[in-house]
Chain A
């Protein structure tokens, strides 16, 4: 059974640009969540999607957005990149997103220069 797949693994962008990250959840999982990990803030929740609907959103500015497709694949977009957006972005999938375990992908390492 394939795990959670995130692409690309590494990305370097310039300030002001935008970026799109992709996540393919485990087959059959309908919930996809996104997290940002930085040394100073740890793992912070960005948002969660279930059946193409955003059900929950963390405390991040509107530059961070996402969507989910009918096959449960999800993308997150960050516009007008800032140096502080440099982080490891993690995607997690789960069956029902409340009492089931979330399985994480390997993450996308974004560096903003």
Chain B
């Protein structure tokens, strides 16, 4: 049961352009969402998060948008740089009850390639 889905396995963009990474979720109990960036053989690095009470959060070149009614979130990277090339994971937290502690539910990831 894939509760968090990243339907695009890969995305290729030109340096300087916008990268848009998408994520859909099915569990309406999720109320906090995070994006992580990961290089091979390394742990994920936290990028940006958003609470369900907001619809947008910005941090430098990274902006996350949340559409609760559509159960959809997206990460915008502007402008994209070659160093942004990595796997991007979205993750969600369900706070309901004791089964939520410490558990991030991850999507399958999207490989972003930024060409110089």
Q: A45 contacts which of B45, B105, B108, B109 (Cβ < 8 Å)?
A: B105
Distance, CA A58 to CA B106, complexed state (A): 13
* Cβ–Cβ contact B46 & A97, under 8 A: no
Given contacts A43-B89, A107-B42, contact A102 B108 (CB under 8 A): no
Distance, CA A102 to CA B45, complexed state (A): 9
Binary interface profile of B, 81-116, with partner A (CB < 8 Å = 1, else 0)? 000000001010101001111111111110000000
Residues of A within 8 A of B106 (CB): 35, 42-43
* Cβ–Cβ contact B42 & A98, under 8 A: no
* Cβ–Cβ contact B32 & A55, under 8 A: no
Q: How many residues of A contact B (CB 8 A)?
A: 32
User: A-B contact count, CB below 8 Å?
Assistant: 80
Distance, CA A105 to CA B42, complexed state (A): 8
Query: Which residue numbers of B lie inside 8 Å of A, CB to CB?
Result: 32, 34, 36, 41-46, 49, 51, 89, 91, 93, 95, 98-109
Complex A-B, nearest 10 residue pairs according to Cβ-Cβ distance, in ascending order: A48-B102, A104-B43, A33-B102, A55-B101, A43-B106, A97-B102, A56-B101, A101-B46, A42-B108, A45-B103
20 A-B pairs (CB sep. < 8 Å) = A6-B43, A35-B106, A42-B107, A43-B89, A43-B91, A43-B106, A47-B102, A48-B103, A56-B99, A97-B102, A98-B32, A98-B93, A99-B32, A99-B51, A102-B34, A102-B102, A103-B46, A105-B43, A106-B42, A109-B41
